[in-house]
């Protein structure tokens, strides 16, 4: 019986395949991602193995770094470096769950606001309750700052 492959193992296997194929971009991107995962595993007092959800969190963070770097390079008139960051982001996105559309995020937020209203909390005081309900549903599939801004705007209506 074959056990399900973990995301970290898939990254290792894909790194090996990229090395054999001579794919420098994929190889370097996966090495950096795996280094981030290893750093996370040994960051506490006791070394541990990350779950797939924690690995996804690290990959999401790495993707966000690439997005921010690309924006900074474009602002600094360095399009070749921005293109490299965006190419690395594209590699990382193949391991991440599909991003939610604006409409899907809006529906999740509306449902959470309605639930908070049913619980007797309304206005900006409901921000914490709504975010607590929305965050697990969108984690890794939407930018947290974007979601928070949308919740704030909807609560201010």
Alpha helices, DSSP H, located in 22-78: 24-41, 52-75
C-alpha 56/C-alpha 119 separation (Å) is: 32
Token pair, residue 87, equals: 């190419």
pTM for this predicted structure: 0.75
In this structure, the answer to whether residues 85 and 139 fall within a common structural domain is no
- Domain identity same for 63 and 127: no
Do 81 and 112 fall into the same domain? no
Domain membership of residue 133 as a residue range: 102-156
Each of the 157 residues of the chain gets a pLDDT tens digit; together they read 345 678 999 999 999 999 999 999 999 999 999 999 999 999 888 888 888 888 988 998 999 899 999 999 999 999 999 999 999 999 999 998 888 888 899 899 888 888 887 777 777 777 888 888 898 888 878 888 888 888 888 888 7
């Amino acid at each position: 019986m074959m056990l399900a492959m973990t995301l970290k193992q898939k990254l290792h296997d894909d790194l090996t395949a990229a090395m054999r194929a001579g794919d420098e971009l994929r190889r370097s991107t996966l090495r950096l991602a795996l280094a981030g995962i290893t750093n996370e595993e040994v960051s506490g007092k006791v070394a541990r193995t990350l779950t797939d959800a924690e690995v996804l969190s690290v990959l999401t963070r790495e993707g966000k770094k690439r997005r921010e770097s690309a924006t900074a390079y474009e602002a600094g008139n360095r399009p070749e470096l921005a293109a490299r960051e965006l190419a690395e982001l594209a590699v990382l996105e193949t391991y991440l769950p599909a991003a939610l559309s604006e409409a899907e995020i809006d529906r999740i937020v509306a449902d959470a606001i309605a639930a908070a209203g049913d619980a007797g909390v309304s206005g900006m005081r409901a921000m914490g309750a709504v975010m607590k309900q929305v965050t697990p549903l969108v984690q890794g599939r939407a930018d947290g700052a974007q979601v928070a801004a949308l919740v704030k705007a909807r609560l201010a209506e």
